[in-house]
Amino acid sequence: QVQLLESGGDSVRFGGSLRLSCETSGITENFYCLAWFRQVPGKEREGVVTVDGDGAVRMYAGYAKGRFTASLDTVSKTLYLQMNNLKPDDSAVYYCAADAATFCWPKHLTRASEYDYWGRGTQVTVSS
């Protein structure tokens, strides 16, 4: 059974930084797609970034480019998200997701329904 566990969420001030982690277990496939999504109350879950199982970062959401950096430790299969220059609009619950796929397609950034496995999320709050 695949399990995902996010950590690293916190409350920070405008312009601050955070590093989120997603520990994975039970991923036995050689090919899979991992992603970070985020969600605020009343809105749909939106993709932040997708990462192939070999560590290649596939796609960032527009708002994440230049500020967020994803990486994957392919040995431990731990996914990271370094977030810099945080803004109040970045406040959300951040989720890690996994899908058994050859690699991440563009749809993996826009469709939360593509993923079979989700973590419980970690709260990020950015104050102005």
pLDDT score, position 122 = 98
Place of tokens 């605020």: 40
Distances (CA, A) of 76 to 36, 53, 72, 95, 118: 17, 11, 9, 18, 18
pLDDT tens readout for residues 7-51: 999 999 999 999 999 999 998 777 789 999 999 999 999 999 999
| Bridge partners for 64 per DSSP | none
pLDDT score, position 31 = 78
pLDDT tens readout for residues 92-111: 999 999 999 989 999 999 99
Q: Which helix (H) or strand (E) holds 118?
A: strand 117-118
* Rounded distance between C-alpha atoms, residue 51 and residue 14, angstroms: 27
* Rounded distance between C-alpha atoms, residue 110 and residue 48, angstroms: 9
How many CA atoms lie less than 13 Å away from 25 in the CB half-sphere? 4
